[in-house]
Amino acid sequence: RRNLLAGASALALPALPMGSAFAQKAEFTLKYGNNLPVAHPMNMRAAEMAAKINAESKGRIAFEVYPNNQLGNDTDMLSQTRSGALDFFTLSPLILGTLVPAAQISGVGFAFKDYSQVWAAMDGDLGAHVRKQIEGSSSLFAFEKIWDNGYRQITTGTKPVNQPEDLKGMKIRIPPSPFWVSMFKAFEAAPATINFAEVYSSLQTKVVDAQENPLAIIATAKLNEVQKYCSITNHMWDGFWFMGNKKSFERLPADLQAIVTRNVNAAGLKQRDDVRQLNDNLLAELKGKGMVINTTNADLFRAKLRTANFYADWHKKFGAEAWAVLEKYTGKLA
């Protein structure tokens, strides 16, 4: 009986995810999970990157991509990456704020006027400051080039957001992050923290009436099917730190670490271009799909945050030193 069972299991085909032709021979199987649809540039670039890493390692690495919350939602994947069950994970700096509060500084509302300020800060001293905090205070580390999410816009099923007063009492979904809660409370909205994995269904069943995300996500996650209005607020820039578990990365020999690092950073730069183009070109497409789109005056929203002491409070929380690094790139805030 024992022999029969042994024979049977030896014949059984291993269950492998797609694209992992190397998994059987590979010395190192590396799992990367994320929360975005397969059609988003993050996953197109991740798939290309995984193939390159596997080829350049000559099959020693099997880099596997698990998109679309297949391994669980962001909160689940964050704990999996902390424990090493997951090797790599892309996460918004603001959600990372549940673990590393200092990481949230890149999300300050209406801080970066344009992408040249964003990349100067994130590839410069602000990003370096945050990566140091991540590495110093958790089992995680972040690769140098942050990936892009984009400037966030507000969608609703009820009415357009033309001015800050329109947010009063609005049941709006925000990602799980202290910073997001604080910002939408400052707008006097009624924010609910929900992981992205549950956003489509929460809007569909009207657990919430609104959400906020860049156009590339609204389009690839088809949120236009469950939302009518899209208000261009550009209320914050958001990215995705490409993070790894330190111990699991350190078990790779230096040459393989170099292959992974080079390819993650290179793919991130390409992903930035893709996301920016998508975000710039999606307005017409979303209009064509029936969304009603309006623009807004950022000064009014910024003034509301100022009146609510939002900038002063977070200045105090992040500390004068970190705030000065942010303002080095954005100019004086509030």
Question: Which of 33, 37, 41, 175: binder of ligand X2X (CB under 6 A)?
Answer: 175
According to DSSP, residue 146 is labeled P
Query: For ligand X2X, which is the closer residue by CB, 22 or 229?
Result: 229
Q: How far is the CB of 73 from ligand X2X (least distance, A)?
A: 9
- Give the phi and the psi of residue 318 in degrees, each rounded to 5: -75, -25
102-141 footprint of ligand X2X as x/- string (CB under 6 A): ----------------------------------------
- CB of 41 closer than 8 Å to CB of 274: yes
Q: How far is the CB of 263 from ligand X2X (least distance, A)?
A: 22
Cβ count near 324 (within 10 Å): 12
- For ligand X2X, the binding residues in 263-322 under the rule CB under 6 A are none
Question: Which of 32, 33, 35, 291: binder of ligand X2X (CB under 6 A)?
Answer: 35
Cα-based distances in Å from 34 to 12, 126, 127: 29, 24, 21
Best CA proximity match to 236, nearest among 108, 147, 125: 108
Is position 149 an interface residue for ligand X2X (rule: CB under 6 A)? yes
10 Å CB burial of residue 62 (0-12, 13-18, 19+) is buried
Query: For ligand X2X, which is the closer residue by CB, 145 or 315?
Result: 145
Residue corresponding to tokens 């798939």: 47
Q: How far is the CB of 211 from ligand X2X (least distance, A)?
A: 7
Q: How far is the CB of 38 from ligand X2X (least distance, A)?
A: 14
Query: For ligand X2X, which is the closer residue by CB, 63 or 196?
Result: 196
228-267 footprint of ligand X2X as x/- string (CB under 6 A): ----------x-----------------------------
Q: How far is the CB of 317 from ligand X2X (least distance, A)?
A: 20
Query: For ligand X2X, which is the closer residue by CB, 57 or 97?
Result: 97
- CB of 109 closer than 8 Å to CB of 308: no
Could you give the CA distance from residue 215 to residue 179 in angstroms, rounded to a whole number?
A: 21
Query: For ligand X2X, which is the closer residue by CB, 31 or 173?
Result: 173
How crowded is the C-beta side of 138, counted as CA atoms within 13 Å? 27
- CB of 273 closer than 8 Å to CB of 251: no
Q: Beta 153-156 vs 229-232: how paired, if at all? A: antiparallel
- For ligand X2X, the binding residues in 66-105 under the rule CB under 6 A are 92, 95
Query: For ligand X2X, which is the closer residue by CB, 153 or 248?
Result: 153
Could you give the CA distance from residue 35 to residue 23 in angstroms, rounded to a whole number?
A: 23
Q: How far is the CB of 196 from ligand X2X (least distance, A)?
A: 3
Q: How far is the CB of 15 from ligand X2X (least distance, A)?
A: 28
Residues contacting 52, CB < 8 A, separation 6+: 263
Chain-centroid distance of CA 325 in Å reads 22
- Give the phi and the psi of residue 204 in degrees, each rounded to 5: -65, -40
Could you give the CA distance from residue 168 to residue 205 in angstroms, rounded to a whole number?
A: 21
Q: How far is the CB of 96 from ligand X2X (least distance, A)?
A: 10
176-215 footprint of ligand X2X as x/- string (CB under 6 A): --------------------x----------------x--
Q: How far is the CB of 252 from ligand X2X (least distance, A)?
A: 27
Applying CB under 6 A, the residues found at the interface with ligand X2X are 35, 92, 95, 149, 175, 196, 213, 217, 238
